[in-house]
């Protein structure tokens, strides 16, 4: 991912973002940091970029023209169509306070433009013209936006794939799942009479994991009661959904893994979205609650939700007949609750697919020609292929919301156990990641139902329904 920083002090940003992990990430081309000197774009013959504010008052103001021309230069470099959809972040004490959640959201962009103010700030007209996001790093006033941009870039860049050597660390550290990180210790075992907790020396990973979770919870309760409240709320929701866990496993897994974003919270239900997707999932205790949630959502819907999943049959007619959503498919949920790995069989090569296989997958799987989605799944590293004598015979993948799917075996290779092997492989992969494998079977697909049952999946009695925008 690339960061373009519009600034009057490029050397500050260049130097500040060129040590340790970020330096390595830049050298490995995992991220690009491009500082653009606004002064290079001024039309003033003395190189001036600021002037007095109209109406008087203290200090100087950065003028619109050099900022706009510097911005245009970046857009031109990116190519107009890519450039124009690139988000422009203005660092300002008046913006929304930066959080880990925002860092995750920004980390999904390929390019980001940061605009650093100085002096008293920037002429309002250019801000209105180019800025998409206003962000503050806290309720205090800095002399310029450079340090704030560097704080944001540091937090976002470390979430880009490959930047941290150990992907696990981004998943377990503070704020993940609304919990602060547990205490950590390194050598020596005893320091100034203080011992490392014995459990950490036990080698029993299950017990260590349980201890760490307990410590995280205790810490959060003590240091951040606000976060702890959110954590308790999520746990209570997981418990409620678990009363009918087969049909709600998609939501439960998202909540358990800290991958759910709440679109609407209601005392009697929720609308949540798998982070980084355009999907909304509805759970409600009764129809009245469901209607309330839909109304709240309709009032604040920014238009980003593309698919809607309803988990209770009593909401299907409401969505079908009274809203702008159109029924797509009705599914049962198949959940692998046994927790033991499955035999994959020998002699079949299964490996991660690269982008060169996107068309192959697209040609053999009915996604209504949505090759972009296939590419996105391949890029996410969740599409696998089975190969026989070096030739692709079938594939499987994981959908955006975490279900196993897109399973297909080419006609010439059917009835040889390749489908079962691919699915067993993916189940084992999910188990190794500490997840509960699940998939969705379209009502009436008996072949898929049989395969899931044979592998030991439990099938939900109830159905869920996917809707799309009319």
Binding site for ligand SAM (CB under 6 A): 91-94, 116-118, 120-121, 136-138, 140-145, 148
- At closest approach, how far in Å is the CB of 115 from ligand SAM? 7
Q: CB-wise, 93 or 290, nearer to ligand SAM?
A: 93
Q: CB-wise, 151 or 280, nearer to ligand SAM?
A: 151
- At closest approach, how far in Å is the CB of 61 from ligand SAM? 9
By the 10 Å C-beta count (0-12 exposed, 13-18 middle, 19+ buried), 325 is classed as buried
State the Rg of the chain over Cα: 26
- At closest approach, how far in Å is the CB of 13 from ligand SAM? 13
- At closest approach, how far in Å is the CB of 147 from ligand SAM? 8
Assess contact for 237 and 284: CB atoms under 8 A.
no
- At closest approach, how far in Å is the CB of 140 from ligand SAM? 6
Q: CB-wise, 141 or 432, nearer to ligand SAM?
A: 141
Q: Name the region of 147 (left: φ>0; alpha: ψ -120 to 50; beta: rest).
A: alpha
Q: CB nearest ligand SAM: which residue? A: 117
Q: CB-wise, 121 or 402, nearer to ligand SAM?
A: 121
CA–CA distances in Å: residue 362 to residues 285, 291, 378: 39, 37, 11
Of the chain, the end-to-end C-alpha distance in Å amounts to: 34
- At closest approach, how far in Å is the CB of 53 from ligand SAM? 10
Q: CB-wise, 148 or 260, nearer to ligand SAM?
A: 148
Q: CB-wise, 117 or 419, nearer to ligand SAM?
A: 117
Nearest of 344, 338, 309 to residue 466 by alpha carbon = 309
Distance separating alpha carbons of residues 196 and 193, to the nearest angstrom: 10
Q: Which one-letter DSSP state was computed for residue 448?
A: H
- At closest approach, how far in Å is the CB of 144 from ligand SAM? 5
Token representation of residue 335: 């959940």
Q: CB-wise, 9 or 467, nearer to ligand SAM?
A: 9
DSSP secondary structure of 277-301: SSEEEEEESSHHHHHHHHHHHHHH-
């Amino acid at each position: 991912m690339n960061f373009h920083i519009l600034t009057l002090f490029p050397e500050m940003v260049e130097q500040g973002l060129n040590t340790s992990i970020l330096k390595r990430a830049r050298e490995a081309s995992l991220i690009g940091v491009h500082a653009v000197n606004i002064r290079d774009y001024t039309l003033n013959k003395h190189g001036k970029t600021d002037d007095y504010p109209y109406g008087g008052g203290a200090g100087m103001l950065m003028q619109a023209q050099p900022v706009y021309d510097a911005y245009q230069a970046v857009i031109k470099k990116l190519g107009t169509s890519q450039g124009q959809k690139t988000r422009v972040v203005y660092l300002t004490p008046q913006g929304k306070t930066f959080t880990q959640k925002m860092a995750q959201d920004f980390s999904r962009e390929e390019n980001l433009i940061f605009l650093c103010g100085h002096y008293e700030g920037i002429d309002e007209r250019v801000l209105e013209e180019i800025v998409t996001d206003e962000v503050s790093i806290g309720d205090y006033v800095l002399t310029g936006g450079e340090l704030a941009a560097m704080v944001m870039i540091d937090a976002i860049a470390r979430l880009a794939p490959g930047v941290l050597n150990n992907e696990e660390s981004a998943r377990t550290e503070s704020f993940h799942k609304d919990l602060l990180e547990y205490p950590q210790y390194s050598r020596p075992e005893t320091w100034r009479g203080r011992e490392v907790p014995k459990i950490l020396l036990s080698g029993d990973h299950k017990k260590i994991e349980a201890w760490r979770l307990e410590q995280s919870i205790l810490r959060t309760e003590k240091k951040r009661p606000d976060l702890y409240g959110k954590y308790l709320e999520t746990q209570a929701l997981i418990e409620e959904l678990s009363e009918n866990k087969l049909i709600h496993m998609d939501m439960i897994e998202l909540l358990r893994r800290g991958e759910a974003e709440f679109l609407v919270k209601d005392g009697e239900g929720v609308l949540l979205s798998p982070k980084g997707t355009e999907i909304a999932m509805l759970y409600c205790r009764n129809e009245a609650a469901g209607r309330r949630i839909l109304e709240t959502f309709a009032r604040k819907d920014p238009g980003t939700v593309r698919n809607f999943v309803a988990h209770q049959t009593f909401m299907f007619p409401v969505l079908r007949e009274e809203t702008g959503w159109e029924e797509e498919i009705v599914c049962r949920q198949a959940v692998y609750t046994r927790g033991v790995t499955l035999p994959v069989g020998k002699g079949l090569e299964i490996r991660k697919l690269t982008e060169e296989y996107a068309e192959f997958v697209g040609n053999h799987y009915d996604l209504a020609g949505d090759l972009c989605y296939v590419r996105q799944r391949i890029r996410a590293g969740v599409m696998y292929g089975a190969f026989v004598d070096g030739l692709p015979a079938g594939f499987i993948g994981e959908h955006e919301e975490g279900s196993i799917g897109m399973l297909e075996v080419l006609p010439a290779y059917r009835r040889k156990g390749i489908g079962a092997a691919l699915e067993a492989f993916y189940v084992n992969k999910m188990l190794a990641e500490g997840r509960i494998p699940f998939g969705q079977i379209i009502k009436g697909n008996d072949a898929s139902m049989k395969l899931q049952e044979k592998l030991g999946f439990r099938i939900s009695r109830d159905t869920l329904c996917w809707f799309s925008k009319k």
